[in-house]
Amino acid sequence: MLQSFLQYLDSNVTLTPGAAGNYLWATVYVVVVIVGVSLAVLSMNWIERKALAHMQVRLGPMRVGPHGLLQPFADAIKLLVKEDIMPDGADKLVFWLAPVVIVITAWTTFLVVPFGPAHAITDMNIGVLFMLGVSSLSVLGIVMAGWASNSSYPLMGSLRSSAQMISYEVAMGLAVISAILMTGLNDTGIYFHHAVASAFPGVGTLSMIGIVQAQAEQGTWFVFKFFPFGLMAFVIFAIAMVAETNRAPFDLPEAESELVAGFHTEYSGFRWSLFMLAEYSGMLAVSSIAVTLWLGGWLRPFATWHGPRITIPHYWQGGALDFASSLLPAVVLFLLALVCFVGVVRMPKIPVFRIQMLGLAAFGGLLGFIGLVLLAPPVRDRIQDIFWFTFKLAVFMYLYIWYRATFPRYRFDQLMKVGWKVLLPVALGVLIVTAIVGVLR
Amino acid sequence: MSLAPILRKIFFVDLLKGLSVTFQYQDPKEIYTEQYPLERPAIAGRYRGLPRLNVNPDTRETLCIACDLCALACPEHLIVVKSERNAATKRKEVIAWAIDVSRCMFCGLCEDACPTDCLELSQDYEFATYSRDFILSRERLEKGSEPTVYKK
Amino acid sequence: MTQPASTSPNTGDRTFLDSTEMVLNMGPQHPSTHGVLRVILKLDGEKVLGTECVIGYLHRGVEKIAENRTYAMFTPYVDRMDYVASVSNGLGYCLAIEKLLNTEAPLRAQYIRVIMTELNRLASHMVWLGTHALDIGAMTPLFYTFRDREEILKIFEKYCGARLTTHAFRIGGCIYEAYEGMEQEILKYCDFLEPKIDEYEQLLTTNRIWLERTKGVGVINGEDCIALGVTGPVLRASGVKWDLRKAQPYSSYEKFDFEIPTGPNGDTYDRYMVRIAEMRQSVRIIRQAVAGLPEGPIMAKIPKVLKPPVGEVYVSIEAPKGELGYFVVSDGTTQPYRVRVRPPSFVNLQALDKMVRGQLVADVVAVIGTLDIVLGEVDR
């Protein structure tokens, strides 16, 4: 009995994505990714409030936990215990269904996001297409939310929001195509796990893992390929993805100082938190497309340089640069722990602050402990790819916050004009030129 | 058309300039928040806060000479001064002095009118209460406020 | 924000459903109307066909109060009208009563008045810049301008004891002498502020999103401004070079050297540029005033009980928002017979209709912001 159970757990575990042979492991992977995304959203909430505040010469949350670290939890609890209000005359089923649809589409896109060559839930051979398609489904959820609210302002806001999102998806798609074109320029045409591709050199791939491997094999991130056209495609995608996720400077449908307050006006409490969750997850999803397609996914910078070979007994055998980069996750965590301890030292020495000091010191200790764990060889080798991918995602999240702090917002007609009259022709032009340059090479 | 504006437009120079400004302000030295009540603001000497009746520091006697000028000066007629003629010294002495601070706009006209240094608008700005006793008597005004010191 | 309603009455067999017009109410409680202003918009889709402003939500009867207070007692009340720039209000009132009494404040008092009024102009323009940028979507200039304005408010606190409702001047001069170290502090502040104004410009002036949101929005030309009685930066941005500090100098403004910035087109962007330039000119005036501050008394010899001769006077000054005028009628007693305030925001608000016709709904908010209205002044 026990034997067969252990066999069930063991046998079908492989390290190849999409080959989690039994339902248990597939569920585990899915749950791990969803929990990871939720944790990322929670920390994004804190980082956004603190970073935005610091850019605005103020402090942000400071009270709810040392330096406001428990603020996201306080917000989550508050939203959970709020009264659930449904507007009179709202379509009950659609009203309930809209946030569910949006969250499900936002999370489903993470099925194919590769955190490493073997660290994805699955690896579809149409990965990018799947991500773009499923994220387009969220527009349906937005229209449902606006419609079900039975009020003209959410309806107008949801229609504007959906118009904005589908307009910028066109430019996004064209930019994505020009990146996909570059995957087919590989000399060897051999991909891990894609035996078919090896038989046809010069064939590109839509698989997310395949795209990063193409960048690895071509030895360059696609943002630097065919300079400046790779960069232009990346910039177009970076602008379009900000508009896609309804963030500043394209956040007119959500802005409070405009007349229409947006599609989620009538939602409060937990339902609204689902919208917020979906918005941040959407930001993470499109950022992961950008990171995978142009910024080399899980590859570290200068992945082809290994440095002189060094040997540390029982610990490392390989290139020096690889060694330095393998220590980087632990170093980052140690630095964060150091920042926590500096914060502890600088806290006011008043008895009431003692618990905050203890909390912050404990948090710093936890970060340091995780850093130590990351130094152990088995963990260290596996964590490399995940670390670089997450780091690049974090850079994009910071850019989102930076844009929100700096730029005024576009009026709706100007927003649509930028999407259709500026981004679309430029994306089309870049695509054509990339194709020509690719053929000529 | 000259090249520079086109290049500035293509390379997002204007947007980058704005981004650099907000980036620089992340320096912790730039933070302008005062974490009240731990860090209290420095109040100027001339600040017009809650009124206070000063007493002679040596004799602890009030400096008020019951001239009623403050009551006449107040735009909202909030001050009431009750005085009595002391037969011995042939001078008026103040018995009761009250002001209604719920309507006071802290304009300082009473302070300007007082010929002695008795009535003064102090630096007190923390006089919110839980009860509705807005009419402050002479004892309260001579004692001043004792605000709760919050250590959090 | 309330529900939309339709306005066309039933005429014959046309019903309200045939109308493409919609009436939208930007209610008194709105994040962008700078106070309790109600704007009723008639829309055709997104285009504005006409507006009607409903005011009076902040009416406190200030002019009626004046009839029941003595002249000196009324001075604190005028600060509460334009509460953002309260020093100007006090200056205008004191100048009006001084004219009625046929006196003039001594020269040192006039210089101190100029310094305080120009600092107050800076503070008012900073509030305007922060809130206007916030309405258009840029949320950070608000914090930067309020931080810099905080220093001005600290100077006010040290000088007269209050940050916002300053009651800085009295009839006949100033009651507060310059505090110790005031000149150095103000000069240090001027040095501190000039790079900050450059920073505000760096964030906004060439920003393409700002340009798209403000160029061509809310255009009004010079003749319309004059016809409507619009004054202040709105008038100057439409090309009319009219500033009461130069045209009818008061309180020794003729002794200072400064320029009047104007704008060519009369759109929102020009009003923004004019106010930024005015901030720089204010700094210039403050430096000159501090450098040339004469010695002497700060209060003229006026009787303790003020009983101005029977008569009426109208004195207007260049407040940060426009021409602020006081019409005072005296009947010989200690209390004025009538005090009528000509608030610049009230008159400028009447230009709103002309400025937003044909524009989109999202621009109404920008135009209200660019007019720089304070409801305390509009409603009194």
Q: pLDDT (tens digit, 9 = 90+) per residue, A273-285? A: 898 899 999 999 9
| pLDDT, tens only, A61-91 | 988 888 889 999 999 999 989 888 888 888 8
- Match 């933070």 to its residue by tokens: B31
ipTM of model over 0.90 = no
User: With 60 as the cut, is the pLDDT of residue A194 above it?
Assistant: no
Q: Which residue has the higher pLDDT, C204 or A184?
A: C204
pLDDT for residue A158: 84
Is A57 within 8 Å of B28 when comparing Cβ atoms?
no
* Segment 265-304 of chain C within 8 Å of chain A by CB: none
- Scored b (16 or more CB within 10 A) or e, B69-88 reads bbbebbbbebbebebeeeee
Is A408 within 8 Å of C213 when comparing Cβ atoms?
yes
| pLDDT, tens only, C88-99 | 999 999 999 999
Q: Which residue of A has its CA nearest to C41?
A: A259
Q: How confident is the model at residue C35 (pLDDT cuts 50, 70, 90)?
A: confident
Mean pLDDT of B92-121: 88
Residue of A259, A260, A403, A404 for testing the chain C interface, max C β-carbons within 10 Å: A259
| pLDDT, tens only, A316-336 | 777 788 888 888 889 999 999
Is B22 within 8 Å of C150 when comparing Cβ atoms?
no
Domain coverage including residue C356: 62-379
pLDDT for residue C116: 93
Nearest-CA distance C152 → chain A (Å): 18
Q: How confident is the model at residue C241 (pLDDT cuts 50, 70, 90)?
A: very high
CATH number assigned to the domain comprising residue B90? 3.30.70.3270
Nearest to C207 among B18, B74, B108 (CB): B18
pLDDT for residue A435: 85
What angle do the packed helices A208-218 and A152-183 form, to 10 degrees?
40
Q: How confident is the model at residue C280 (pLDDT cuts 50, 70, 90)?
A: very high
Q: For chain A, which chains pass the contact test of at least 3 CB pairs under 8 Å? A: B, C
Residue of C139, C196, C363 for testing the chain A interface, max A β-carbons within 10 Å: C139
Mean pLDDT of B28-37: 83
Q: How confident is the model at residue A263 (pLDDT cuts 50, 70, 90)?
A: confident
Residue of B15, B48, B104 for testing the chain C interface, max C β-carbons within 10 Å: B48
Per-chain mean pLDDT for chain C:
88
pLDDT for residue B39: 80
Per-chain mean pLDDT for chain A:
84
> What is each CA distance from C179 to C90, C112, C186, C268, in whole angstroms?
20, 11, 11, 39
* Segment 18-77 of chain B within 8 Å of chain C by CB: 18, 20-22, 25, 32, 43-48, 73-75
Q: How confident is the model at residue A120 (pLDDT cuts 50, 70, 90)?
A: confident
Mean pLDDT of B132-149: 81
3-class DSSP assignment, residue C338: strand
Is C140 within 8 Å of A406 when comparing Cβ atoms?
yes
Contacts of A413 in chain C (CB under 8 A): 46, 360
| pLDDT, tens only, B36-57 | 877 888 888 889 988 988 888 8
pLDDT for residue C327: 95
Burial (CB count <10 Å: 0-12, 13-18, 19+), residue A372:
middle
Is C159 within 8 Å of B46 when comparing Cβ atoms?
yes
pLDDT for residue B141: 84
The phi, psi pair for C143, rounded to 5°, reads -70, -35
Q: Which residue of A has its CA nearest to B14?
A: A407
| pLDDT, tens only, A202-213 | 567 888 888 888
Nearest to C361 among A152, A259, A404 (CB): A259
Q: Which of C243, C147, C127, C228 is nearest to C192 (CA)?
A: C147
Q: How confident is the model at residue A195 (pLDDT cuts 50, 70, 90)?
A: very low
Residue of B69, B109, B121 for testing the chain C interface, max C β-carbons within 10 Å: B109
In a domain, B97, yes or no: yes
User: With 80 as the cut, is the pLDDT of residue C83 above it?
Assistant: yes
> d(Cα C44, Cα C27) in Å, to the nearest integer?
19
pLDDT above 70 coverage of chain A, percent: 90
Q: Which residue has the higher pLDDT, C283 or C9?
A: C283
Q: Which residue has the higher pLDDT, A149 or A281?
A: A281
What angle do the packed helices C140-160 and C107-136 form, to 10 degrees?
160
In a domain, C94, yes or no: yes
> d(Cα A18, Cα A120) in Å, to the nearest integer?
8
pLDDT for residue A13: 56
Is the Cβ of C4 closer than 8 Å to some Cβ of chain A?
A: yes
The answer to whether the pTM exceeds 0.80 is yes
Task: Write down the number of H helices and E strands in chain A.
Answer: 15, 2
Is the Cβ of A54 closer than 8 Å to some Cβ of chain B?
A: yes
Is A58 within 8 Å of C143 when comparing Cβ atoms?
yes
Is B28 within 8 Å of A51 when comparing Cβ atoms?
no
Number of neighbouring beta carbons within 10 Å of residue C20: 10
The phi, psi pair for C212, rounded to 5°, reads -65, -35
pLDDT for residue A16: 64
Is the Cβ of C346 closer than 8 Å to some Cβ of chain B?
A: no
* Segment 329-368 of chain C within 8 Å of chain A by CB: 360-363, 365
pLDDT above 90 coverage of chain C, percent: 58
For residue C342 the two structure tokens come to 């000509």
3-class DSSP assignment, residue A128: helix
Q: Which residue has the higher pLDDT, C8 or A111?
A: A111
Is B151 within 8 Å of A350 when comparing Cβ atoms?
yes
Q: How confident is the model at residue C7 (pLDDT cuts 50, 70, 90)?
A: very low
User: With 80 as the cut, is the pLDDT of residue C154 above it?
Assistant: yes
pLDDT for residue C249: 92
Contacts of B152 in chain A (CB under 8 A): 350, 352-353
What angle do the packed helices A377-406 and A23-55 form, to 10 degrees?
40
Number of neighbouring beta carbons within 10 Å of residue C360: 18
Q: How many separate domains does chain B show?
A: 1
| pLDDT, tens only, A352-404 | 788 888 999 999 999 999 999 888 888 888 888 889 999 999 999 999 999 99
Find the farthest-apart pair of alpha carbons in chain C and give their distance in angstroms, rounded: 80
Q: How confident is the model at residue A190 (pLDDT cuts 50, 70, 90)?
A: very low
pLDDT for residue B1: 57
In a domain, B17, yes or no: no
Burial (CB count <10 Å: 0-12, 13-18, 19+), residue C264:
exposed
pLDDT for residue C284: 93
Contacts of B32 in chain A (CB under 8 A): 57-58
* Segment 181-200 of chain A within 8 Å of chain B by CB: none
Contacts of B48 in chain C (CB under 8 A): 161-162
* Segment 251-280 of chain A within 8 Å of chain C by CB: 251-252, 255-259, 261
User: With 50 as the cut, is the pLDDT of residue A188 above it?
Assistant: no
Contacts of A410 in chain C (CB under 8 A): 209, 212-213
Is the Cβ of C204 closer than 8 Å to some Cβ of chain A?
A: yes
Q: Which residue of B has its CA nearest to A50?
A: B26
User: With 90 as the cut, is the pLDDT of residue A146 above it?
Assistant: no
Q: For chain B, which chains pass the contact test of at least 3 CB pairs under 8 Å? A: A, C
pLDDT for residue C60: 92
User: With 70 as the cut, is the pLDDT of residue C13 above it?
Assistant: no
Is C157 within 8 Å of B44 when comparing Cβ atoms?
yes
Domain coverage including residue B124: 51-143
Contacts of A51 in chain B (CB under 8 A): 26
Is the Cβ of A62 closer than 8 Å to some Cβ of chain B?
A: yes
pLDDT for residue C22: 79
Is B26 within 8 Å of A55 when comparing Cβ atoms?
yes
pLDDT for residue A383: 85
CATH number assigned to the domain comprising residue C144? 1.10.645.10
User: With 70 as the cut, is the pLDDT of residue A199 above it?
Assistant: no
In a domain, B43, yes or no: no
| pLDDT, tens only, A35-48 | 999 999 999 999 99
User: With 50 as the cut, is the pLDDT of residue A180 above it?
Assistant: yes
> d(Cα B38, Cα C206) in Å, to the nearest integer?
41
Q: Which residue of C has its CA nearest to A409?
A: C137
In a domain, B90, yes or no: yes
